[in-house]
Amino acid sequence: FLRIRDAANPLDNSSVHPETYPVVKAMAADLNCEVKDLIQNGDLRKQLNRKKYITETVGELTINDIFKELEKPGRDPRQQIEEFRFDENVKTMDDLKPGMKIPGIVTNITNFGAFVDIGVKQDGLVHISQLSNTFVSDPNQVVKLQQKVMVTVTEVDPSRKRIALTMKDASSPAQSGGGDRRPPAAKPQGGGKPGAKAAAAAPMNPFQAKLAELKKKMDN
């Protein structure tokens, strides 16, 4: 809408639609104040019952928008663009050190992980096992293209132009499947504990003992 600064009607410097001016004037009349007082005094607005002003032509969303505009007249209804900056201390791979936590932008997603632009010529790789503390079967469930993320450098190999990154939260306990997909070690059969000595052989009966003695004599 066209806004007129320093207009006689303070609503002219707002996004309140002219067709709803009467609604605002009714609010002011109910509080025995001027429209400008309604804009300047939040305590006055708190005394109003929003539902009272809902009609067949003025819905709840419109009333809520009016209140938002009265709170901040002249505000830009467009959402502010989120500003993003790479780490100013990172210009080349030589500036990267394991353990550094830096911002980045997801540039590519594959079956084995996501590539992240961190402000150097070479994108870093967050392997699928490093995307989360919990098990991840599909990287697309965790990240999206152009998503802004925080990553931690785990390995830098300038000769091979490889940068390994992680998005795991080091402060959180490791969860099953977060990277270690090996099956649990098999338990020893018979319920024995690891490292326990083998059970002693059962004693032989007289016939078995005689055969063993004969075999020993033949071997000698």
136-185 pLDDT, tens per residue?
999 999 999 889 999 999 999 999 999 999 999 876 554 434 444 444 45
Domains in the chain (CATH in brackets) are 10-71 (1.10.150.310), 93-166 (2.40.50.140)
Token reading at 51: 């539902």
- Say what the pLDDT of residue 198 is: 46
Q: How far is 123 from 115, CA to CA, in rounded Å? A: 6
Contact 94, 158 (CB under 8 A): yes
Query: What separation, in Å, do the N-terminal and C-terminal C-alpha atoms of the chain show?
Result: 112
For the chain, residues with pLDDT lower than 70 are 1-8, 13, 73-82, 171-212, 214-220
Q: What is the pTM of this model?
A: 0.45
